[in-house]
Chain A
Amino acid sequence: MRDLFGCVSLGRHYPRGGCLSAMKEQNILKDPYNIIITGVGGQGSVMASRVLSNMLSLYGFKITIGETFGASQRGGSVMSHIRVSGCGTWSPQIPKGRANLVVALEPVESLRVLMTYGNPEICILANIRPTYPVGVIAGDLSYPEPEDIDKTLHTLAGQVLLIDATKEAVELGNPILSNIIMIGAVCGLGLLPIGVKEFRSVIQNMIPAKHLEINVIAFELGQRKSIVKIE
């Protein structure tokens, strides 16, 4: 297996050692740990990346987020890059082949990012509910079958977890909650040292109080989904 982080000569801005130990606990697998949240405009990926980042920030990690949003994202692919580190600010764009975790709010978006950011050890967490591109709707392009997506992801990733987050969210009363279910699922994976306590403390500053409990329910539901699947 190729060692992706084999570099030993670090500049003074990325001190070796001392960096991880400066954190409360040594509990990220790589420094920086690179997360991509991807989806389609309107799915709440920006919200998801801010929630997750603020949760990690509470834990003492230094976070750099790169986002793309605005008019170019109407109906298009939307991506947030999150760099989790004990040492400092990294590029807001993850270098090629270096994502550690992909959270896809839409299944083919997980396939799309692998071309640029994938590697054999990558962990992929994807919502299986498709949002069809207009080219597919118009009949110009075709959309892959769910089982093919599943099979292909397994050939390109180290760990794959698929969740029907939209279905669960609809059952909770609002499809937009699928992004929070996915964040819950990220936490259920056990790759990052954060849970419902951090979620509560972050989300309460971001939404009206009346929506707090349903968001916590969605988060915990997502958490259970990924814990169960891992077991």
Chain B
Amino acid sequence: MSKLLEKKIGTSHLLMGNEAIVRGALEAGVNVAAGYPGTPSSEIVESLSKIAKKMGLYVEWSVNEKVSLEVAAAASFANLRALCPMKQNGVNVASDFLLHLALSGIRGGLVLVSCDDPGALSSVNEGESRHFARLLEIPLLEPGNFQEAKDMTKWAFELSEEIKSVVMLRSVTRMSHASGSVMFGPLPETGRKAYFKSDGFILDLETGPVISAPVGYRHPIQQGKIKKVREIFEESPFNTYEGPEISDLLIITSSACTLYSREAIHLLCLADRVGLLKLGTTWPLPPKLLKKYLATTDKILIVEEVLPFLEEHVKVIAAEEAKEIGAKTFYGKNDGTIPMNGELNPDIVVKALSHIMGVPNEPMAPEYEKKAQLVAFTMAPNREQTFCPGCPHRASFWNIHKALQLDNRQGFVCGDIGCYSMAAIPAGFSTIRTLHSMGSGLGVASGFGKLDMFGMNQPVLAVCGDSTFFHAVLPPLVNAIHHQANVTLVVLDNSGTAMTGFQPHPGLNVDAMGDKAPNLDIAEICRVMGANVEIRDPFNLEATQSTLNQLMTESGVKVLILRQVCALSPEKKGKKKFKMQIDKEKCIGTDCGCNRFCTRILRCPGLVWDKDEKKAWIDEVICAGCGICSDVCPSGAIIREEVV
């Protein structure tokens, strides 16, 4: 049994932040969950999908975040409780619907969980969702530890239902993907029935249709809700203070930064001089609470990640109350005390505190640090990201790279979001030349594909994964076909949402809850839309390259589907198709003339150059047995033997 279903109240469990959010939703009696996979949010829907049947929930991996929020909202309109987790970028996708949803209001509790990724540990931006809460005028909660991740999620449902508005709960990578102790509360019986009451008077919020218009009527109602929330937040137990009654410095913080700040105070032994005001309710900010603590000090340090969201809004409150509480000195992003980008850690806060308080700080003996740095720089070679051994993307981009070289018109690839984004670096032969959001590869390519009238004759390629195809590539595909753009779309179909852990998508015949589902065929979709479609196995280097070269010479929209299952997929992992070895006689090393095609260019972690023997060798522990290196070697020295 999953520990998330533990019935015993008061037991303590080591949970990932994302699991704590799941437990909180279960304790709130959640009925429906819908999301789209994205690091660091994926484990929330993943965990719920595994226990859905047992708990009588409906859980789905929706096609994208906007649809997932619409699905979750429908449950709320039918008076159920619904959870909608997504990565921060997903909030961008869902934001159009979200703005209208904020106006229309909801019925059953609806909680949107946004997992931000400050420092872009697993993203291609470090945008944040806090600003959406202000923009859309909805409440924002931010857990500051793992227990709160659970407790706050549960309370978020209650708050949402009380004010009839979607509530945003924001986590960050160091909360979602970190783990800590969580004490469990009771799991309620969920007996809710779904019924959508919509035949009431058009302006009746309880029984009428759920619509965002008339705006002149709905917007003031929504703003009234935020006013009420502000009052509720003044008394919230999620806003805590620890420290002296009058402090030399007050730290105001939220989220994972609470843990960094507390540890920094501890490390510098400043607990009797520095106060820590940790806010769990960060939009709208509770002005009376802030006024009370601002009054206890002259200096304030605001510790938060990326943009100065808290800082700017706390300053507004401080300005409004200045007459009573006096002028304050603020430290934070604006004066450069805390960096404006990247994620924080205890050391950054220690440095800031040490600077402001004039307390010396020497975390490492300078001599040791110098020695350890020298060792790291001279002896620990940089570990550049690369595709896994046996990854179909290495073969796909090898093929694209070779085909573009042969074509010789300076063609390029518009990239998209997935493991294959790494083709922007040498791992994928640096073939990707534009990289933005989900679906943007083909969108941008569709634009490039119309520039021939301005003299552009470079072949334009776009890549996308199978899950991304459904998420956001369909509209630009329609656009490219309708406008007869000259573009070749390469669909890297590895049979799952591989980067985030093999979540199913509409191209597969299974859904999140493990039930059989009708699968949509990418090739057929493209064909009926009017594209010229070819399907190849990227491990067949010759056939793939010649097909690509042919397609690049044709006009209009061409789609090449490169089908090969991800090397980490449960069906493939740990199983080798080929046993690979080097024929030491045939490998003529540096005399070959290819200048180490095998290791210098292909750069597979399983194929290593022995610089003493000047020959390649297969690291059997790492090699996944895909066999493509055999076709790359001009001397035929890499032998593949089928494993029976």
**Chain A residues in contact with chain B, CB under 8 A?**
2, 7-14, 40-42, 50, 53-54, 57, 62-77, 88-98, 108-109, 111-112, 114-115, 118-120, 129, 131-139, 141-144, 148-149, 152, 155-156, 166, 170, 174-176
B371 and A91 form a contact (CB under 8 A):
no
B272 and A9 form a contact (CB under 8 A):
yes
> Which chain A positions have C-beta within 8 A of B499?
70-71
Q: How large is the interface on B (under 10, 10 to 19, 20 to 34, 35 or more residues)?
A: 35 or more
Cα distance, A112 to B372, chains bound together (Å): 8
> Which chain B positions have C-beta within 8 A of A10?
266, 271
Supply 16 further A-B pairs (C-beta < 8 A) apart from A91-B346, A132-B605: A7-B269, A10-B266, A65-B178, A71-B122, A75-B387, A90-B259, A95-B263, A96-B350, A98-B363, A131-B622, A134-B426, A139-B609, A144-B379, A152-B375, A156-B368, A166-B621
> Which chain B positions have C-beta within 8 A of A7?
266-269
A115 and B376 form a contact (CB under 8 A):
yes
A139 and B596 form a contact (CB under 8 A):
yes
The smallest beta-carbon distance between B393 and chain A, in angstroms, is: 10
> Which chain A positions have C-beta within 8 A of B605?
75, 131-132, 134, 137
> Which chain A positions have C-beta within 8 A of B609?
137-139
**Interface residue SS majority, chain A:** loop
> Which chain B positions have C-beta within 8 A of A72?
121-122, 385
**Chain B residues in contact with chain A, CB under 8 A?**
14, 39-40, 121-122, 145-147, 173-174, 177-181, 242-243, 256, 259-260, 262-272, 276, 345-347, 350, 363-365, 368-369, 371-373, 375-376, 379-388, 418-419, 421-422, 426-427, 499-500, 574, 596, 599-601, 603-605, 607-609, 611, 619, 621-622
B121 and A70 form a contact (CB under 8 A):
yes
Cα distance, A138 to B267, chains bound together (Å): 43
- Most chain B CB inside 10 Å of its own CB: which residue of A13, A89, A134: A134
The smallest beta-carbon distance between A133 and chain B, in angstroms, is: 4
> Which chain A positions have C-beta within 8 A of B422?
71, 74
Which chain B residue shows the least CB distance to A169?
B621
Cα distance, A156 to B375, chains bound together (Å): 9
Q: Which of A73, A148, A149, A170 makes the CB contact (< 8 A) with B621?
A: A170
A135 and B376 form a contact (CB under 8 A):
no
Cα distance, A144 to B611, chains bound together (Å): 12
Q: Which of A57, A71, A91, A152 makes the CB contact (< 8 A) with B419?
A: A71
Known contacts being A67-B178, A139-B599, is A75 close to B376, with CB within 8 Å?
A: no
Q: Which of A63, A109, A141 makes the CB contact (< 8 A) with B14?
A: A63
Which chain B residue shows the least CB distance to A97?
B364
A68 and B266 form a contact (CB under 8 A):
no
16 residue pairs from A and B, CB less than 8 Å apart: A12-B271, A65-B179, A75-B385, A75-B605, A91-B260, A96-B350, A112-B376, A114-B376, A115-B373, A118-B368, A119-B364, A135-B382, A137-B603, A137-B607, A148-B379, A155-B371
A13 and B363 form a contact (CB under 8 A):
no
> Which chain B positions have C-beta within 8 A of A77?
383
A11 and B266 form a contact (CB under 8 A):
yes
B346 and A93 form a contact (CB under 8 A):
yes
Cα distance, A105 to B243, chains bound together (Å): 41
B376 and A111 form a contact (CB under 8 A):
yes
> Which chain B positions have C-beta within 8 A of A134?
384, 386, 426-427, 603, 605
Cα distance, A166 to B178, chains bound together (Å): 28
A12 and B383 form a contact (CB under 8 A):
no
Cα distance, A8 to B271, chains bound together (Å): 10
A92 and B178 form a contact (CB under 8 A):
yes
A11 and B243 form a contact (CB under 8 A):
yes
> Which chain A positions have C-beta within 8 A of B364?
96-97, 118-119
B178 and A149 form a contact (CB under 8 A):
no
Known contacts being A7-B266, A96-B347, A115-B372, is A76 close to B39, with CB within 8 Å?
A: no
> Which chain B positions have C-beta within 8 A of A131?
605, 619, 622
Q: Which of A71, A120, A137 makes the CB contact (< 8 A) with B599?
A: A137
Q: Which of A2, A53, A70, A143 makes the CB contact (< 8 A) with B179?
A: A53
A95 and B382 form a contact (CB under 8 A):
no
> Which chain B positions have C-beta within 8 A of A11?
242-243, 262, 265-266, 271, 276
The smallest beta-carbon distance between A8 and chain B, in angstroms, is: 7
Which chain B residue shows the least CB distance to A70?
B122
The smallest beta-carbon distance between A72 and chain B, in angstroms, is: 5
Which chain B residue shows the least CB distance to A153?
B375
> Which chain B positions have C-beta within 8 A of A108?
379-381
A119 and B269 form a contact (CB under 8 A):
no
> Which chain B positions have C-beta within 8 A of A54?
14
B259 and A89 form a contact (CB under 8 A):
yes
A93 and B376 form a contact (CB under 8 A):
no
> Which chain A positions have C-beta within 8 A of B39?
69-71
Q: Which of B242, B270, B346, B621 makes the CB contact (< 8 A) with A12?
A: B242
B386 and A74 form a contact (CB under 8 A):
yes
A138 and B347 form a contact (CB under 8 A):
no
Which chain A residue shows the least CB distance to B264?
A95
A149 and B382 form a contact (CB under 8 A):
no
> Which chain A positions have C-beta within 8 A of B262?
11, 13, 91
